[in-house]
Structure 1
Amino acid sequence: MIVVGLNLWVVMSTRDRIASSPLTCESREVGIVFGTSHGLVGGGRNPHYQARLDTAAQLYRLHRVSNLLLSGDNRTRYYNEPMTMWRDLRDRNVPQQFMTLDYAGFSTFDTLVRAHKVFGVDQAVLVTQPWHLPRALFIADVLGLDAVGCPAVSERRPAGLRLMLREWLARAATVGDLYLWGRKPRFLGPAERLPTPVLPAVPAVSGS
């Protein structure tokens, strides 16, 4: 019952800030894209990864963000989530000056703490799957980061029972991390400044 209650708290306190689709996402200066493996264990591309990048690229094309903070795990020289995202977003025609790489986003918590404390982000659009957004937004709230959620829908691989069970447990653990155990990020490091590229003006639509 405790896990259920904590999940309800996380979901109910954040649901009003999750858009229904990328087309309805709010505009913010920074879009935070959470890293994940680009491939599946059994082979093939990870549709959750693909959906996050497709959504991030769409936010750029719609002029909803002026910088994409790509945050992920860089545990070895052969595994580099931020660089992989950067390359694949380049292939989606996102210019490199609109992207910043965070190599120490080892978890959702680490990504958001570093975005706020290292990169100085105060407002952001969070780009990840709908089932992940409540936990990410809940963490952002406690950190004092003004965030909204933009859902990356993985149409070819919906969240299964095992994934949802893991997320339920992660939400409950997150409440403990934030309010009981005083969790700290694995690596914080010195402050860095995000570039502020100027987005092209959106042409006005004249009435008929």
Structure 2
Amino acid sequence: MALGACLLLASLLFVGANLWVLGQTQGRIVHELPLCGPDRVGIVFGTSHWTRSGVRNPHFEARMSAASRLIRMGRVEHLLLSGDNRTRYYNEPVTMWRDLRGRQVRDEDMTLDYAGFSTFDTLVRARDVFGVERALLVTQAWHLPRALFIADALGLEVTGCAAPARPVAGLWRLQAREWVARVATLGDLYLWGREPYFLGPLEPLEIAPQAWQLPVEAPLAD
């Protein structure tokens, strides 16, 4: 009976923690790209370019497509591309940068964060290294509640922009893992005082004017 009571209590805490995170964030997730923003900065979370089976990762594709469209529509002015770069053979930020260049996003509209080893690290570094105070978070809808919750705890002013989704095999595994990650996040924030893996000196983002913001030169008089 004692074991059953403990399991029941743990289950209730697990579900309750997830419902708390979802309840605090769902109202700030936008599912239509033209309605996202406007914000000066969009934070794009890194993920692997390829799946373990050797095919292009649909979640990577969706994030890159959303990020490039947000720039083209003027919903964000600058993209902070944050991802894992633990080894010379695996570099999420550079992979994102190359992909977005192929989608006609200008170099001056992108900043690469090479130490975004986790959602937590990405958001702490956005605040403490790149000087971001307000941003649009760009990732999948199932990832956004945790990202928004962390950003809130860090004092960032954020909204979420869900990358358009399509049916993907094995999505339930990611969603189940995300339920566990939300509970772990509460521990990171309120119990054991997690710190980012690596910080560094302040490097404020340099946001270049968009084409429509550039002054129009007056025609020369005859």
Give the TM-score taking structure 1 as reference length: 0.94
Aligned-partner residue type, residue 57 of structure 1: S
CA contact (8 A) 1:70 1:99 kept: yes
Over aligned residues, Cα RMSD in angstroms?
1.2
Larger mean CA deviation between 108-117 and 148-157 belongs to 148-157
Deviation readout 1:86-134 (Å, 9 max, x if unpaired) = 0000000101000000000000000000001110000000000000000
Who is 2:7 aligned against?
none
Q: What is the percentage of aligned positions where both structures have the same residue? A: 60
Greater share of helix: 2
**Structure 1: any 5+ residue segments left out of the alignment?**
203-208
Offset of residue 156 of structure 1 = 4.2
Q: Are 1:48 and 1:153, in contact at CA under 8 Å, matched by a contact in 2?
A: no
Unaligned runs of 5+ in 2: 1-11, 214-222
Secondary structure, aligned partner of 1:29: strand
Residue 4 of structure 1 aligns with an amino acid whose one-letter code is: V
Q: Is the 8 A contact 2:79 2:109 kept in 1?
A: yes
Query: What amino acid does structure 2 have at the position aligned with 1:115?
Result: A
Conserved 8 A contact 1:19-1:151: yes
Between 1 and 2, higher relative CO (CA 8 Å, sep ≥ 6) is seen in 1
Q: What amino acid is aligned across from residue 38 of structure 1 in structure 2?
A: H
| 1:65 Cα deviation from its structure 2 partner | 1.0
Distance 2:173 2:167 in 1: 17
Aligned AA for 2:42?
A: G
What do residues 135-186 of structure 1 show as CA deviations (whole Å, max 9, x unaligned)? 0000000000101000012314266222111100000110111011100000
Larger Rg over CA atoms: 2
In structure 2, relative to structure 1, the CA distance for the partners of 1:115 and 1:158 (3 Å cut) is farther
Q: TM-score, normalised by structure 2?
A: 0.88
Give the direction of change, closer, same or farther, for the CA distance of 1:3–1:163 in structure 2 (3 Å limit): same
Figure out how many residues of one structure are paired with residues of the other and give that number.
202
* Alignment check: 8 A CA contact 2:21 2:145 kept: yes
